[in-house]
Structure 1
Amino acid sequence: MRNNTTRLDHVVLWVADPVAAAAFYETAVGLTPVRVAEFAEGKAAFPSVRVNEDTILDLAPHRFADQMRMLPGSADSAGHPVNHVCLSLPAEAFDALRARLEEHGVPVSGIDHGLSGARGNATRSFYFRDPDGNIFEARHYDD
């Protein structure tokens, strides 16, 4: 990891059940859980799942909304998922993710081609929703 570039550190998702959400992201999406046992034991405020060595998704329980005081109106964000979060994967991992989601009965969209993103136009992409209604796009680029 290099400390001389700007990068995405984390995205906080509101979830009804952080342990169940972590299980979904581990089994259906293939992400690595972080602090799930500690959360279940009351030793961590929330669990996370690791996207890569630089980025995690924090799984914040809705009950934390009243504790969001960093800016006026922050508590109002509970239950309002972002438009979508996009995961960029190598082609093989893209195919594996789609197959794993389908095996877990997670509805997925059709395949789109050429959608614009951080690295230009993606070769393929599709969308899926987590159990809390957060929408994800999965894509890959030809490198």
Structure 2
Amino acid sequence: MTNSSTRLDHVVLWVADPVASAAFYEEAVGFEALRVAEFAEGKVTFPSVRVNEETILDLAPHSAADRMNMLPGSAGSAGHPVNHVCLALPADAFDALRARLHEHGVPMSDIGRHSSGARGDATRNFYFRDPDGNVFEARHYDD
């Protein structure tokens, strides 16, 4: 990828406790937590977690909704998660994520097969929720 190509930079999720959410994503999902200490110290308005070198999830506290005024009506989106966010992983990382979520007692759907996505039909997929009810799909494609 080049800096001039279009790609997903970040997704903002509404969460009740950004520090707890960052811990969930770091421990159960395996993402790198970013700016958690700075958030706890009041230096930044939210922490994030790194999905990969190009994409992060921002963990916005519900209390920040009244300051989300970049677009008329934005504050009204607090607490309304998107339908789901899909993570495409290599097969070994898919299996490792499922095992980590199981170890942390996170409920998951059964394994699905041949779900259509950006790169065609995925070999396997499953769904899980974070502690705030945001739904994630994990999938892998045959390479």
Indicate the TM-score class for this superposition, using the shorter chain for normalisation: over 0.9
What is the CA distance between 1:142 and its match in structure 2?
0.5
Distance of 2:82 and 2:15 partners within structure 1? 12
What is the CA distance between 1:33 and its match in structure 2?
0.4
Q: Where do 1:45-84 residues align within 5 Å?
A: 45-84=45-84
Equivalent in the alignment of 1:138: 138
Equivalent in the alignment of 1:93: 93
What is the CA distance between 1:74 and its match in structure 2?
0.7
What is the CA distance between 1:88 and its match in structure 2?
0.5
Counterpart code for 1:37: A
What is the CA distance between 1:12 and its match in structure 2?
0.1
What is the CA distance between 1:70 and its match in structure 2?
1.3
Cα displacement string for residues 67-115 of structure 1 (whole angstroms, at most 9, x for unaligned residues) = 1111111111000000000000000000000000000000000001110
Cα displacement string for residues 11-48 of structure 1 (whole angstroms, at most 9, x for unaligned residues) = 00000000000000000000000101111111111000
Counterpart code for 1:81: P
What is the CA distance between 1:4 and its match in structure 2?
2.2
TM-score (norm 2): 0.98
Counterpart code for 2:120: G
What is the CA distance between 1:123 and its match in structure 2?
0.4
TM-score (norm 1): 0.98
Query: SS of the residue aligned with 1:4?
Result: coil
Equivalent in the alignment of 2:20: 20
Instruction: Using the TM superposition, name which of 65-74 and 23-32 deviates more.
Output: 65-74
**Gap runs ≥5 in structure 2:** none
**Gap runs ≥5 in structure 1:** none
Computed over aligned residues only, the root mean square deviation of the Cα atoms, in angstroms, reads 0.7
Runs in 1 of length 4+ with deviation above 4 angstroms?
none
Count of residue pairs brought into register by the alignment: 143
What percent identity do the matched residue pairs reach? 80
Distance of 1:68 and 1:43 partners within structure 2? 17
Cα displacement string for residues 97-136 of structure 1 (whole angstroms, at most 9, x for unaligned residues) = 0000000000000001110111010000000000000000
